[in-house]
Amino acid sequence: MFADYSTSELMSIFAMQGFAGLILFSVFVLMALGLAIIFGQMGVINMAHGEFMILGAYITYLTSNVFADYMPALFGSYFFVAMILAFIAAGALGMLVEWAMIRHLYHRPLDTLLATWGLSLILQQLYRTIFGAREVGVSLPDWLMGSIQLTDIVEVPINGIFVMTLAIGISVGIAALMYKSRWGIQVRSVVQNRPMAGAVGINTAKVDRLTFGLGCGIAGVAGSAFTMIGSTGPTSGQLYIVDTFLVVVFGGATSLLGTIASAFTISQAQSTMEFFLSGSMAKVLTLLFVVFILMLRPQGLFSLKMRK
């Protein structure tokens, strides 16, 4: 298929395809981090993860409208405000949900699956009632749309770079929080041995609530960022949920490093195959590849070693 092209053209395309893979990687990381924290640290399967993301997207939509109406001069920077608000809104909703629902179900993992699925349906209908069944168009500041032209052919989308920066920033932030802060130590000790953590004076209920809130808040930020690349509608969250679970399960549920490694593997595999094969076939092969690895390593790529 490459016979008709010159070497420089091919080099450019490969460079761009490399970027495409990295952007996909960043998107996967953003999608999966929130879920990985909740699933990995608390053992709760949050089926409503997509809806928390869409909450972030709707917050972005509202913020953009407010800025357009009242502060048109500052419109270029509304996106940062929107992301912060999205984090707060999704995080607050997450903590509320944890308090009202999740904490009563900690010892019944299958029930949390059903309960959060029900929650996702409720949230979808709520969005539909408030914002209407149609998708809303989020208008973005001009500087976010468009691309940087490096050579004649090589162009890098700015929103891709933005998503990449955000993914790196959040990952580093979470890693610092988990492995450097006092709160992170508490979370990890609750994961490893809940009764013992409680016995040494850690308020496990509070740790749980904050962890769940943090996971949901990150989902909100991801949703806010995804208004740049995807749709915002009541059911748009469903578009991301399968890929998100795929990344988390493949990575090994309890390891953040695993999530990142898994996002990298899957995104590179998928974007390379998409280039050489057709879109649907690439997806099929990606899924087959993941199934095959999971057959050999049911615990995922990385897993926490601990005494049972």
Partner 1 sequence: MATMKHASQSGLGGKLPGLMKTLAGAVAGATMALSAVVSAAPATSEVNTTGLAVTDDTVTVGILHSVTGTMAISETGSVQAEKLAIEQINAMGGVLGRKIEYIQEDGASDWPTFAEKSRKLLVNDKVASVFGCWTSASRKAVLPVFEQYNGMLYYPTFYEGLEQSPNVIYTGQEATQQILAGIDWVVKEKGAKTFYLLGSDYIWPRTSNKIARKHIDKLGLKVVGEEYYPLGHTQFNSVINKIKLKKPDVIFASVVGGSNVAFYKQLKAAGIDMTDEKPLVLTISVTEDEILGIGGENIEGAYASMKYFQSLPNDNNAAFVKAFKERWGDDIVIGDVTQAAYLGPWLWKAAVEKAGSFDVDKVRAASPGIELTTAPEGYVKIHPNHHLWSKTRIGNAKTDGQYEIVYETDELIEPDPFPEGYQ
Do the Cβ atoms of 83 and 224 come closer than 8 Å?
yes
- Which one among 23, 33, 216, 225 touches partner 1, defined by CB under 8 A? 23
Cβ nearer to partner 1, comparing 232 with 254: 232
Decide if residue 147 touches partner 1 (CB under 8 A).
yes
Residue with tokens 């899957």: 266
Do the Cβ atoms of 82 and 60 come closer than 8 Å?
yes
Cβ nearer to partner 1, comparing 21 with 258: 21
Span of 20-28, 83-91, 99-107, 256-264 interacting with partner 1 by CB under 8 A: 20-28
- Which one among 30, 33, 57, 138 touches partner 1, defined by CB under 8 A? 138
The minimum distance between CB 59 and partner 1, in angstroms, equals 17
Q: How far is CA 300 from CA 204, 249, 262, 277, 295, in A?
A: 27, 6, 9, 27, 9
- Which one among 197, 274, 301, 302 touches partner 1, defined by CB under 8 A? 274
The minimum distance between CB 118 and partner 1, in angstroms, equals 15
- Which one among 139, 189, 204, 303 touches partner 1, defined by CB under 8 A? 139
Decide if residue 283 touches partner 1 (CB under 8 A).
yes
DSSP for residue 232: B
Decide if residue 289 touches partner 1 (CB under 8 A).
no
Decide if residue 126 touches partner 1 (CB under 8 A).
no
Residues 202-241 that bind partner 1 (CB under 8 A): 226, 228-236, 238-240
- DSSP string over 90-139: HHHHHHHHHHHTGGGGTT-HHHHHHHHHHHHHHHHHHHHHHH-SSPBPPP
35 Cβ neighbours under 8 A, 6+ residues apart = 46, 49, 215, 219, 244, 245, 248
- Which one among 5, 80, 179, 292 touches partner 1, defined by CB under 8 A? 5
Q: Rounded CA gap, 154 and 194, in Å?
A: 52
